[in-house]
Chain A
Amino acid sequence: MQKGKDKMQISALEKEANIDHIDSVVSLGQKAGSGIKKKKPDCKCAVIKSENFSFYYGTKVGVKDITMEIYPCSVTAIIGPSGCGKSTFLRSINRINDLIPHTRVEGRLLVNGHNVYDKSTNLVNLRQQVGMVFQKPNPFPKSIFDNVAYGPGLHGVKKRSALQQIVEESLKAAALWEEVKDDLKKSALALSGGQQQRLCIARALATRPNIILMDEPCSALDPIATSKIEDLIDKLQNDYTIVIVTHNMQQAARVSERTAFFCLGELIEYDSTAKIFRNPGKKQTEDYVTGRFG
C-alpha cells in the first residue's frame, strides 16, 4: 500500500527524463523489491533465450544478431528510440510477426527450450504459453465475459462453470473484477481505455501462460490508468515472466529488474535496471538514458 502510494506520487510529479529522479525510483524499487520479489521455490517459470537472432523485413533489417537471456519470474524491460527493433524482437517471441509477408529469420529464438522458428513448432501451444498485450487496447467487440473466455475456449475448456471460474480469476488477477463483476455481459467497448487494457491483460492471463509480452501497454493510456497497470505488472511478476517494451524510461525503471537497450536493430546493452540507468556500460546507452538523443 505504502509502496503504491509512493509510486503514484512519483509518477504524478515526473515530467521529463532526469537521472536524479530515476535514481530515486530505482533505489525505491530495489528497497521494496527486497521484500516481495523473492523467487518462490515452486515457480514454474520459463526462460526465453535468443542466440544470434536476426529478423528481416524483406531486405530491411528489423533486429540483428540479438543474443540475450530473459530470466524467469521477473520483469524485463526493452527500451530504445523509435524504430530500433524492440517491438520486432518482442513480436518474434510469440511469432505474431508471421502476419507480415516477406520476412526472414536467422539465428535461434528459444522459448522454454524450444526454437520457436523451427518448422515443427506448435504455434497454438506456443501462443497459449506466451501471452501478448498490445499497444492499443484491442478487446473484441463482444461482451467482457466472452473476451476473457475466448482464449480458454480455444484451448479446450468447454464447460460453462470452468469458464466462469477462469474468467473470474483472470479479471481478479488483472485487478478489474471489482469494477465489472456486476455486468459481465456488457460490451467490452463500453469500458474506458485503462479498463480495456486491463481487460486485454485479463484475456491474456486467461490462457494461463507463463510468459507475458507487453508492447508499450500504457502508451495509449492516461497517467492514472498507467499507474494502475504498473501496479498490476508488479503484482504479476511473482508468477509470470514479463517482457515489456516501453518508450518511457521512467516506467522501465519503475517496473523492471533487468533492462535491455536496443538501438538501430542491435542489442547495445543488457543488464540490471539499476546498472543501466545509473552506470551504463556503453556510451550509447548513457546518451540515451540521459536524454541526449531519442
Chain B
Amino acid sequence: MITNSAIQNQQLRPATDKNQSLVLTPLQDLGGFLFHHLGRLLLFLITCSSVLLVLLIFFFVIREAIPFLTKFSLTEFLTTKSWYPEAATPKFGALSLIVGSLYVTIAALIFAVPTGILAAIFLSDIVSLKVRDFIKPVIEILAAIPSVAYGFFAVLVLAPWMQNKWGFTTGTNALNASIILSIMALPTIISVAEDSISAVGRELREASYGLGATRFETIFKVVIPAAHSGIIAAIVLGMMRAIGETMVVWMASGNANQIPSPWWDLSQSVRTMTATIAGDMGETPKDSPHYWSLFAIGVVLLLMTFLLNIISEYFLASAKKKTGKS
C-alpha cells in the first residue's frame, strides 16, 4: 500500500503553475466587493418583499374602507346591530357580525382547547415515539382538509342530521359552525401545544418522577405550568384560525344577522364578519357605501388577527426564553 505510492506521489505535488498570488488585484477586489455587497443588497430587497406585501395589504384594505369611515359613524358601525346596507337609508351596524364571529370562535374553543391540550399531552408524554409518528400524520391530514370540504360536510351531512335527528329548527346554526371550527382549530392547537410541552425537557419530568409523583401529577403540576406560555400561544393561534375562517361559517352558520337571544342558545343562526364579506361582495357594486363597509369589516378582522398574532408571538417568545432553546 505504501511502497508503490512513493513513486506515484511524485505526480501530485503542490501546484506550481497556478495563479499563486495571495493578493487580490484591485479589479478582483472591486469585483468581489461589488458582487458581495450588491448581491446581498439584491437578496435583502427581495426578502423585503414580505414587508412590502404586509404594508400593501394594510394600505389597500384601509384605503378602500376610508370612504366608509369618513361618511358613516364609527361608533354606529361598532355598536349597533342593524345591518341593512341595501335599504333605502342604509344602516351599517356591525355589532352582531362582530359578536357572531366571537360567538362561534369562543364556542369552538370551549370544545377544542381541552381536547387539544389533552391530545397534545397524549402525544408528548404518554405514547412512544413510534406511535406518535403514526398519529401525527392523522393530525396533519385533519389540518390539510380544505375548509370548503368541511363546509360541505357541515351543510350536507351535519345540518340535515341536526334538523332531523335532534329536531333543531334549522341545521345551519352556531352549534354546527362551532363544531366544525373546533375540529379545524384542533390541529393548530395540538401541534403548537405539543411542541411547547415537549420542549420542557426531560430534566423537569425526571425531577418530579424522582420525588414519587404519578404521571398525572407530573404533567398537571410541573409540565403544564412550565409550558404554559406555549400553551397560551397555541390557544391564541387556534382562535386566530377560527376567527379568520370563512367558508365553513358561510355555509354552516345560517347567516342570520342576529345575536342569539338567550346568549347560550347555540341552536340559533348567527352571522360572522367573514361570511358577510364573502356573501355580500359578489352582489355589491364597486365604490358604493356597501362596498366600502365590507372593507371596513375587513379592517376590523385584520386588526383583530394582527393583535392576536402579536399576543401569540409574545407568548411564544417567552416560552422560548424559558426553555433556552433558539
Task: Point out residues on A near B: beta carbons under 8 Å.
Answer: 1, 4, 44-45, 111-114, 116, 118, 120-122, 125-126, 128-129, 155, 166, 169-170, 172-173, 175, 178, 205, 207-210, 231, 235-236, 238-240
9-residue interface stretch from B1-9, B234-242, B298-306: B1-9
Partner of A122, one of B1, B15, B21: B21
Q: Does B20 contact A (CB under 8 A)?
A: yes
| Chain A residue contacts of B23, Cβ below 8 A | 114, 118, 120-122
- In contact, B14 and A240 (Cβ under 8 angstroms): yes
Q: Residue on A with the closest CB to B17?
A: A208
B9, A235: Cβ atoms closer than 8 Å: yes
- Within the complex, which residue of A113, A120, A155, A172 is in contact with B18, where a contact is CB–CB below 8 Å? A155
Report whether over half of chain B's contact residues are helix, strand or loop; otherwise say mixed.
loop
Chain B CB within 10 Å — which of A116, A120, A122, A175 has the most?
A: A122
Does any Cβ of A come within 8 Å of B47's Cβ? no
Instruction: Pick 26 A–B contacts, CB within 8 A, sort by A.
Output: A1-B2, A44-B13, A44-B14, A44-B16, A112-B22, A113-B22, A114-B23, A120-B29, A121-B22, A125-B20, A125-B22, A128-B18, A129-B15, A170-B12, A172-B5, A172-B9, A175-B2, A178-B1, A205-B12, A208-B13, A208-B14, A210-B14, A210-B15, A231-B2, A235-B6, A238-B9
Bound Cα distance from A170 to B11, whole angstroms? 9
A122 to B33, CA, bound (A): 12
Q: Give the number of A-B contacts (CB < 8 Å).
A: 78
Interface positions, chain B 172-217, Cβ under 8 Å from A, are: none
Cα of A45 to Cα of B9 in the assembled complex, Å: 16
Q: What are the residues of chain B within 8 A of A169 when measuring CB–CB?
A: 8, 11-12
What class of interface size applies to chain B in its complex with A? 20 to 34
CB of B49 closer than 8 Å to a CB of A: no
Are A1 and B8 closer than 8 Å at their CB atoms?
no
Asked if B89 CB lies within 8 Å of chain A CBs, one says no
The distance in angstroms between the C-alpha atoms of A207 and B15, with both chains bound, is 8
One digit per residue, 1 when the CB lies within 8 angstroms of any chain A CB and 0 when it does not, for chain B 231-256 equals: 00000000000000000000000000
Asked if residues B14 and A235 are in contact (CB atoms below 8 Å), the reply is no
Q: Does B19 contact A (CB under 8 A)?
A: yes
A116 close to B22 (CB less than 8 A): yes
B24 within 8 Å of A (CB atoms): yes
Chain B, residue nearest A171 (CB): B12
Q: Is the CB of B18 within 8 A of A208?
A: yes
**Per-residue CB proximity of B265-308 to A under 8 Å, as 1/0?**
00000000000000000000000000000000000000000000
